[in-house]
Amino acid sequence: MNATMLVLNIPIEIEEDLVDYLLSLEGIGGFTSFRVQGHGEHSDLSVAEQVTGRRTRLRYEIVLDEALVSDVVKGLADGVGSDIIYWQQPVTNFGRIG
């Protein structure tokens, strides 16, 4: 496997749709998620978010075969929603102890 990490940064509102989508895919053995605070462009922030200067989002990290990334990303718009930020990072070593 040519491992890569696909990182997804999503709005909280589409969490359940994303989890359902990821669990339905062959080749994804699991993933990690956690809350993050997004900082940056303020054009689409609520008033409360503009005051605090951040928006709560969710981040998902998925280690998978690099050959699967384009299909996974392609399916996000159709099966999950919009306002999804993604990137991928090379994984030089991956395994499980125990």
> Could you list the pLDDT tens digit for every one of the 98 residues in the chain?
799 999 999 999 999 999 999 999 999 989 999 999 877 666 676 666 666 667 889 999 999 999 999 999 999 988 899 889 999 999 998 888 98
pLDDT at position 41? 67
pLDDT at position 50? 64
pLDDT at position 56? 85
Q: What does the alpha-carbon distance between residue 81 and residue 1 come to, in Å, rounded to a whole number?
A: 29
Question: What is the number of alpha carbons within 13 Å of residue 37 lying toward its C-beta?
Answer: 6
Helix (H) or strand (E) holding 64: strand 55-65
pTM (predicted TM-score): 0.85
Structural domain boundaries in the chain: 3-90
Whether domain 3-90 has CATH 3.30.70.120: yes
Sheet of 85-90, strands arranged across: 32-38, 55-65, 3-11, 85-90
